[in-house]
Amino acid sequence: MSKIVKVIEVLAQSDKSWEDAATQAVSAASKSVDNVRSINITNMSAKVDNGKIVKYRINANISFLIKKKK
């Protein structure tokens, strides 16, 4: 039995860490789609102000399972 999986790109940021940004990305995607299965971080960057990181940013691909119609 095959499964249909869709992938969306999500951008997220956090004041705390890249891990927190990833958590926020999954949380935001889960509000719009069901059955989130995985996250793949494709890019990490940060905004720097006065020599300190002030925003941790990620680009991520989030996959979710599509349910078949009956």
In this predicted structure, what is the pLDDT of residue 46? 98
Does residue 68 surpass a pLDDT of 90? no
Does residue 69 surpass a pLDDT of 80? no
Q: How confident is the model at residue 1 (pLDDT cuts 50, 70, 90)?
A: low
CATH 1.10.1740.10 fits 4-66, yes or no: no
* Domain ranges within the chain, ordered by starting residue: 4-66
In this predicted structure, what is the pLDDT of residue 60? 97
Q: What is the mean pLDDT of residues 47-59?
A: 97
pLDDT tens column, 23-44: 999 999 999 999 999 999 999 9
- Angle value at C-alpha 28, between 21 and 63, nearest 5 degrees: 90
